[in-house]
Amino acid sequence: MRLKDIYDICVRTGIDNDARGAEEIQRVLAANKRAFGKLDESERDFFDQEKLVNPYADTRICAGDPDSEVRGMLVGIDMETAEVLLADRLREKGAPIDLVFAHHPEGPGYANLHEVMYMQADLWAAQGVSIAAGDALIGERAQEIRRHIMPVNHYRAIQAAELLGLASLSCHTPADNSVNRFVQAHLDAAGAMTLEQVVKSLREIPEYADGARKGYGPALIVGDDEARAGRILVDMTGGTEGPKEALDRLSAAGVGTLVGMHYSEEHKKHAEKIKLNLVIAGHISSDVLGMNLVLDQIEKVGSIQTWCTSGMVRIKRS
């Protein structure tokens, strides 16, 4: 498969599983096109033109010729310089690895991670939160994340891949969209549950069962085992954690339980204060599930060998 084909499948999978729907995705892309069209010629060189076709700023080909053929790839959650060196070492031992395929963004995807956070306002609006409040809340939080990320050395692993002749691709929000929809559908199908049953239901999913056996499986962090979950919202996409003030809005809109990859201590304390249940499904196991769902789509299109590292465990569904 060509590198570009793998990238295109990632983007398409993200769109197909995006809770915002096709109309909102087209609105975002159209806004990006208008913004590009308004730029002076001297400014266009600094505009990431992938935004014209890809609504996920954290998903990019970071290194490699898009038309190059990929025979095999090393897949992992965090693919830093050490994992790039591992890919090269495996290649020395005969593995036909051409691509380092990461979940967490590197390079341009990491530098612009904050841009995907604005989708959270639409996800909250679907639960009954006003879009005006959602936009205001997420805007401040996204800029906080932008400032936090700005000093980071974004291109360490990318330059290592380039020096070793390896392609690099990050697939973040498309995988998160996939796991978000999958887990929401799983819990919706289970029906009314206690919080203890929510945790047990999550462990029916192989990636979470694997995480539980390894010590980082699903866990209830706010609420009592026998309490009713009420309306469950799966909260696993949109870049990273939103502001704790969004919890107030979701609770007021009727959400009883949030199921997320991770929550900060600040979020936990706030949820306790407003009596909103929190279940942590597990960060790495959720990322693994999302990447597995993306890999299933890639393997439907072409034959490609896969090696797993950095927390990744391949579980196929098709």
pLDDT tens by residue, 69-104: 999 999 999 999 999 999 999 999 999 999 999 999
Q: Which helix (H) or strand (E) covers residue 179, if one does? A: helix 173-190
Model confidence at 193, pLDDT cuts 50, 70, 90, reads very high
What is the 3-class SS of 272-316, one letter each residue?
HHHCCEEEECCHHHHHHHHHHHHHHHHHHHCCCEEEECCCCCCCC
pLDDT level of residue 192 (50, 70, 90 thresholds): confident
Radius of gyration of the chain (CA): 20
CA distance 205 to 213: 12
Distance between CA 294 and CA 306 in Å, rounded?
Answer: 13
- Name the average pLDDT for the chain: 96
Mean pLDDT (whole number) for 46-68: 97
With residue 170 as reference, give the H or E element that holds it.
strand 167-170
For 203-259, the pLDDT digits (tens) are: 999 999 999 999 998 999 999 999 999 999 999 999 898 999 999 999 999 999 999
Reply yes or no on whether the pLDDT at 318 is more than 80: no
Structural domains for the chain? 3-173+286-308 (3.40.1390.30), 179-283 (3.40.1390.30)
Percent of the chain residues topping a pLDDT of 70:
100
What span, in angstroms and rounded, lies between the C-alpha atoms of 306 and 75? 7
Structure-block tokens of residue 296 = 């299933």
Q: What is the pLDDT of residues 109-165, one digit of tens each?
A: 999 999 999 999 999 999 999 999 999 999 999 999 999 999 999 999 999 999 999
